[in-house]
Amino acid sequence: MKRLKRHLGTAIVVAIVIVGTRFTQDFQDWSKLLTYQPAPEISRLAATTTMTDTARRLFYVNQPIIETRKSALNLCKSAEHTIVLGCYVVSKGIFLQAVADPRLQGVMEVTAAHEMLHVAYQRMSLFEQTQINQQLQTILGQLQNPRIHKLVETYNDQDPKSVNNELHSILGTEARNLSPELEEHYRKYFTDRLAIVTLSERYEGVFTALRDKAKTLSQQLVTRKSTLEQLSAQVKQEAETVESERSNLQGSIVADPRNDYSFRVTTFNNRVNSYNQLVSQLREQTEIYNQLVNEHNSLALEEKSLVESLENKSTQQVAR
């Protein structure tokens, strides 16, 4: 009985501390938001990602700022490279990198939602985080998305303690199929979570399409190169044969100019015509091969351009 009372007393104290902490946090939020007016672009990001009032409060209270690539790199220092750009730095705020490339439309929106979820996770109690972590790990085990698994492995290698925090933001903005429990959890923050997932899939699809096309072209180049090598060898062999026949024919004519060589001449000319056709075929195939090489190089340059526009891709980190 005494032990029960002791445990009950401890639970009450913990509950009082949690309630008191949250009341203090709510008051601090209220005082910060009292004079805060989000910039139009910040409001647009919140609206496009369907943030609820709860989510907007977490987003706005950290006074998100859109920075240039160089400034964002300085503010979000990290060795991690991911496709979503930005960071939530405790006691400093949310920083988002400006992305103007129309091919990457949606990056900033997903970043905004991602960082807001970091704030939400950081404000959960240890008990709430433990519950969410179990659900996140369960979904991760079921997830058929190599890119996300690779990303999580990178986080795990760099900072295992950050994995669940990152998963909370990644799955919430990039995973289409979640458990009913997690969907209910994210409904606290988004009225249409799949709208964010669609944005994520759209710009990720730009990279995927480029890589898939480049892979297809690479396979075609391998096949065509093999064909070219065989054709080139055939042309070389045929050139040697033509030269040999020409030399023999000339030698015969010189040795016996009165003989009738019309049949041999006709045969030789036919051989030359066949050789010329092979040369023409080799030229055409070489031109097609070079066009494919140029197309492949153009895709590589396009992907490089996209990557460079996101060059300071940083971990969505909660700075400690």
CATH code of the domain covering residue 302: 1.10.287
Residues 6 or more apart in contact with residue 85 via CB below 8 angstroms: 72, 76, 96, 97, 99, 107, 108, 111, 310, 312, 313, 314
| Domain count for the chain | 2
Better-predicted residue by pLDDT, 61 or 33: 61
Classify residue 24: in a domain, yes or no: no
Q: Using one digit for the tens of pLDDT, what is the confidence trace for 108-159?
A: 999 999 999 999 999 999 999 999 999 999 999 999 998 899 889 988 888 8
Report helix, strand or coil for 135.
helix
Same domain, 169 and 73: yes
State whether 146 and 231 are in the same domain: no
Residue 143 shares a structural domain with residue 281: no
Please state the φ and ψ torsions of residue 93, each to the nearest 5 degrees.
130, -165
How many angstroms separate the Cα of 203 from the Cα of each of 109, 122, 144, 157, 206?
11, 28, 19, 26, 5
Average pLDDT over residues 224-242: 91
SS3 content of the chain, % helix, strand, coil (to 5): 75, 5, 20
E strands within the chain? 65-67, 87-89, 93-97, 318-319
Residues 6+ apart with CB under 8 A from 264: 249, 252
Nearest alpha-carbon partner for 271 in 232, 233, 240, 227: 240
Q: Is there a domain that residue 11 lies in? A: no
152 and 42 share a domain?
Answer: yes
157 plus 216 within the same structural domain: no
The answer to whether residues 290 and 222 belong to one domain is yes
User: What pLDDT sits at residue 299?
Assistant: 79
Looking at residue 177, its pLDDT comes to 93
Is 181 within a domain?
A: yes
pLDDT at 83: 40
pLDDT at residue 309, as a whole number: 62
Strands 87-89 and 93-97: what pairing?
Answer: antiparallel
* Whether residue 106 is found in the same domain as residue 177: yes
Cα–Cα distances (Å) from 20 to 12, 14, 23, 61, in that order, read 12, 10, 5, 19
Residue 27 lies in a domain: no
pLDDT of residue 19 exceeding 90: no
For the question of whether the overall pTM of this predicted structure is more than 0.75, the answer is no
pLDDT given at position 22: 62
Q: Which structural domain, as residue segments, surrounds residue 183?
A: 38-206+311-319
Stronger pLDDT, 288 or 28, i.e. the higher one: 288
**Where does the pLDDT of residue 3 fall: very low under 50, low under 70, confident under 90, or very high at 90 and above?**
low
